[in-house]
């Protein structure tokens, strides 16, 4: 079985002598499917995000661009990434999912992104822990979810993934 893997960050630099940077070519060489861009734990200026998305696109890799709120989602949608994940930073890694704590951020981001880049699929992240969070995110218009801590911190990661999948 093959599972698409994305890098947690990529830098918009050319391959070569780039110690401390992760060029898109390195992600491709490692067999990666793409990368997250502009995560709230590693925010980037808009122009840097744009170059990172273009560098991934040029190599046939996928960008999952993160936005902290509706305004950022609208602005970043101008990059027309394949995926845009809305993740308010204050809810990342917490116990409350954005889909229940701030549902208007999810539905507003979906609406904003669709108005700017109809082909971009919106993902819901931040605090997604179980099937109820997934179901609510889909109900609010997202195409899927972006998760990390719900799986990485779980006593049984496989069971955590299976629980999340039942929300679809």
Please report, for the domain that includes residue 148, its CATH number: 3.20.20.70
Residue 1 falls within a domain, yes or no?
no
Q: Which of these, 70, 76, 132, 71, lies nearest to 105 by C-alpha position?
A: 70
Catalytic residue among 25, 87, 129, 163: 87
CB-side neighbour CA atoms (13 Å) of 101: 17
Q: Which of these, 119, 108, 24, 107, lies nearest to 77 by C-alpha position?
A: 119
Q: Which two tokens stand for residue 35?
A: 């990368």
9 catalytic residue (yes or no): no
Residue 96 falls within a domain, yes or no?
yes
Tally of structural domains, the chain: 1
- Percentage with pLDDT > 70 across the chain: 99
Q: Which of these, 44, 86, 80, lies nearest to 62 by C-alpha position?
A: 80
State the burial class of residue 101 (Cβ atoms within 10 Å of its Cβ: 0-12, 13-18, 19+): middle
Stated pTM of the model: 0.93
Q: Which residue has the higher pLDDT, 38 or 165?
A: 38
Residue 77 falls within a domain, yes or no?
yes
In this structure, of 12-16, 20-24, 116-120, the range with the lowest mean pLDDT score is 12-16
On the question of pLDDT at 151 being above 80, the answer is yes
- Percentage with pLDDT > 90 across the chain: 73
Catalytic residue among 25, 39, 129, 163: 39
Largest CA distance in the chain: 46
104 catalytic residue (yes or no): no
Q: What is the mean pLDDT of residues 25-37?
A: 96
pLDDT confidence of residue 1: 54
Q: Domain residues for 137?
A: 6-165
Q: What is the mean pLDDT of residues 98-118?
A: 96
């Amino acid at each position: 079985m093959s599972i698409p893997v994305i890098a947690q960050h990529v830098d918009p630099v050319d391959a070569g002598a780039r110690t401390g940077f992760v060029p898109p070519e390195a992600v491709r060489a490692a067999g990666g499917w793409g990368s997250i861009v502009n995560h709230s734990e590693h925010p980037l200026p808009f122009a840097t995000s744009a170059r990172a998305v273009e560098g991934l696109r040029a190599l046939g890799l996928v960008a999952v661009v993160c936005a902290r709120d509706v305004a950022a989602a609208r602005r970043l949608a101008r990059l027309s990434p394949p995926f845009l994940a809305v993740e308010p930073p204050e809810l990342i890694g917490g116990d409350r999912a954005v889909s229940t704590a701030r549902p208007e951020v999810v539905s507003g981001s979906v609406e904003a992104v669709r108005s700017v880049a109809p082909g971009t699929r919106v993902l819901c992240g931040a605090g997604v822990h179980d099937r109820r969070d997934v179901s609510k995110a889909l109900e609010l218009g997202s195409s899927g979810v972006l998760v990390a801590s719900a799986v990485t911190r779980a006593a049984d990661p496989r069971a955590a993934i299976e629980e999340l999948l039942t929300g679809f």
